[in-house]
Amino acid sequence: MAITAAPNPPNPNSPDLESPELDSLDPHTPVIVGVGQAAERLTDPGYEALGEADLASRAVNVAIADTNADSVAITQAVDTVVAVRSFEISSPLSRSPLGRPDNMPRAVAGRVGIDPRRAIQSVTGGQTPQALVTELAAEIAGGRSSGAVLFGSEVMSTVRDLMTRPESDRPNFTEQVGGQLEDRGFGIRGMTSLTEARHGMTAPVNQYALLENARRHRTGLNREAYAQEMGALFAPMTRVAAANPFAARPTEQTADELVTVDESNRKVAEPFTRLLVARDQVNQAAAVIVMSVAAARAAGIDPARWVFLHGHAELREQTLMARPDLSVAPAAAAALDHALDVAGITLDDAAHLDIYSCFPIAVFNICDAFGLRADDPRGLTVTGGLPYFGGPGNNYSMHAIAEIVGRVRRAPGDYGVVVANGGILSKHAVGIYSTTPATWRTDDSTAIQERLDSAPRVARCDDADGAATVETFTVIHHKGGRRTAIVIGRLDDETTDAPGPRFVANTDPDDTELLDILDARDPIGMPVVVRSTTDGNRVYASAESLRRLHPPTTPGFRDSYEHIEIRRDGHLLEVTINRPEARNALHPAANAELDSVFDAYFADPELWVAILTGKGDKAFSAGNDLAATASGAVFSVPKNGFAGLTSRPSLPKPVIAAVNGFALGGGCEIALACHIIVADEDATFGLPEVRVGLAAAAGGLVRLPRAVGPALARDMILTGRRLSASEAAAAGLVSRIAPSGKVLETARGVAEEILAGSPVSVRASLETMEETSAIADTIAAVGASTTVLDTLISSSDTIEGITAFVMKRPPKWSGH
CA 37 to chain centre: 31
C-beta of residue 380 within 8 angstroms of C-beta of residue 236: yes
Count Cα atoms within 13 angstroms, Cβ side, for 180: 11
Give the CA-trace dihedral at 358, 359, 361, 364, to 10 degrees.
70
Strand partners, 276: none
Distance CA 278, CA 357 (A): 7
Catalytic residue among 40, 574, 593, 669: 669
437: preceding bond cis by omega (within 30 degrees)? no
Residue 187's alpha-carbon distances to 29, 126, 195, 449, 600, in angstroms, are: 29, 12, 19, 18, 45
SS3 track for 369-391: HHCCCCCCCCCCCCCCCCCCCCC
Q: Is 368 left (phi over 0), alpha (psi -120 to 50) or beta?
A: alpha
Alpha-carbon dihedral sign for residues 175, 181, 184, 185: positive
> Is the separation of the CB atoms in 434 and 413 below 8 Å?
yes
Where would I find the H helices in 656-724? 666-673, 700-708, 710-719
- Helix (H) or strand (E) segment spanning residue 484: strand 483-492
Residue 200 Rama label (left phi>0; alpha psi -120 to 50; beta): left
Alpha helices in 67-178 (DSSP H): 71-77, 104-112, 128-141, 156-162
Is 669 among the residues known to form the active site? yes
Report the candidate in 709, 674, 668, 662 with the shortest Cα–Cα distance to residue 689.
Answer: 668
311 neighbors 432 (Cβ within 8 angstroms): yes
Identify whether 689 is a catalytic site residue: yes
Candidates 689, 727, 752, 767; catalytic one = 689
Q: Which residues pair with 503 in a beta bridge?
A: 489
Residue 475 one-letter amino acid: V
Q: What is the enclosing helix (H) or strand (E) of 505?
A: strand 499-507
d(CA 741, CA 218): 67
Of 225, 369, 209, nearest to 277 by C-alpha is 209
Residue 796 and residue 790 in contact, taking contact as beta carbons nearer than 8 Å: no
Helices and strands (DSSP H and E) totals, the chain: 28, 28
Q: How many CB atoms lie within 10 A of CB 570?
A: 12
- Phi and psi at residue 10, in whole multiples of 5°? -65, 150
Distance CA 688, CA 669 (A): 11
Would you name the residues annotated as active-site residues? Answer: 669, 689
